[in-house]
């Protein structure tokens, strides 16, 4: 093989690796977006299928609900705490949690990834005995794993910054409700990522952008 041909083959391999990483990035974005759409459409029973089914160590944590471990814990959460049935029986309910500004790092082998997303949203639900409207802001702290050639959630953590009434503000009323207080909430471990806005401290809102994998 000539030197020119060797150089061309090396360049093609490099391009193929780059294209593979681009494809992985797009597939991860599609996975995250599918989650947001399913939640908005009250198809919560489908959300556990977005998680890895065979890979040990799966978990999720949303606001103050606590940590749900393993795929069984994930299914328990979405079929009880935030089940379709709970909200289909609540006329006027609305929950839009968009996912934006992703920073995603993928390992060299294309089997693991980490990501952080901003999430702005609009919510309507019961507050002080009547249907009310809220704004919300948070960050999704994510890890992904490729299982059977398909990207899946390995870790889902939603860190809320605020959920305040539209006729108030996040300084005066940063949090209007609690998932921890719902009767079906039975986490495997207590919440560790619950640090909403407070007027009495410097607010830095973790997590930071993920660092590249060392490989």
Q: List the one residue out of 164, 1, 171, 136 whose CA is nearest residue 62.
A: 136
Tell me how far apart the terminal alpha carbons of the chain are, to the nearest angstrom.
30
Contact 66, 180 (CB under 8 A): yes
Q: How many structural domains compose the chain?
A: 1
pTM strictly above 0.95: no
SS3 assignment, position 187: coil
| pLDDT > 70 in the chain, percent | 94
pLDDT digits (tens, 9 = 90+) for 14-27: 666 778 899 999 99
Q: CA 51 to CA 122: how far, in whole Å? A: 25
Distance CA 195, CA 170 (A): 13
Q: What is the CATH number of the domain that holds 135?
A: 3.10.450.50
Per the domain annotation, does 69 fall within a domain? yes
Share the mean pLDDT of the chain.
93
Residue 205 forms part of a structural domain: no
Strand partners, 136: 121, 163
Q: Is residue 89 part of a domain?
A: yes
Beta strands in 51-199 (DSSP E): 59-62, 67-69, 94-97, 100-106, 112-127, 130-147, 150-165
* Domain annotation covers residue 130: yes
Q: pLDDT digit string (tens) for 193-205?
A: 899 999 999 999 9
Task: Report if residue 173 sits inside a domain.
Answer: no
Q: Rounded to whole angstroms, how far apart are CA atoms 188 and 137?
A: 25
Q: Are 100 and 129 in contact, with CB atoms under 8 Å apart?
A: no
**Residue 85 resides in a domain:** yes
List 61's β-bridge partners, or say none.
Answer: 67, 157
In a domain, 62, yes or no: yes
Is the residue at 212 inside a domain? no
Domain extent at residue 55 = 3-165
Residue 129: pLDDT over 90: no
**Phi-psi bin for 157: left (phi > 0), alpha (psi -120 to 50), beta?**
beta
């Amino acid at each position: 093989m000539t030197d020119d041909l060797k150089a061309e083959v090396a360049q093609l391999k490099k391009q193929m690796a780059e294209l593979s990483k681009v494809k992985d990035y797009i597939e991860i974005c599609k996975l995250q977006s599918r989650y947001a759409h399913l939640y908005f459409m009250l198809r919560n029973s489908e959300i556990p299928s977005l998680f890895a089914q065979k890979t040990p160590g799966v978990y999720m944590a949303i606001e103050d609900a606590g940590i749900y471990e393993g795929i069984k814990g994930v299914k328990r959460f979405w079929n009880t705490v935030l089940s379709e049935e709970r909200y289909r029986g609540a006329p006027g309910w609305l929950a839009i949690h968009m996912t934006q500004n992703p920073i995603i790092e993928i390992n060299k082998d294309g089997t693991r990834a980490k990501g952080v997303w901003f999430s702005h949203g609009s919510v309507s639900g019961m507050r002080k005995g009547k249907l009310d409207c809220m704004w919300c802001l948070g960050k999704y702290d994510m890890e992904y794993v490729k299982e059977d050639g398909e990207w899946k959630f390995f870790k889902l953590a939603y860190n809320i910054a605020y959920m305040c009434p539209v006729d108030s503000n996040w300084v005066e009323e940063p949090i209007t409700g609690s998932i921890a207080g719902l009767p079906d909430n039975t986490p495997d471990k207590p919440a560790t990522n619950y640090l909403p806005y407070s007027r009495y401290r410097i607010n830095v809102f973790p997590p930071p952008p993920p660092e590249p994998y060392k490989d």
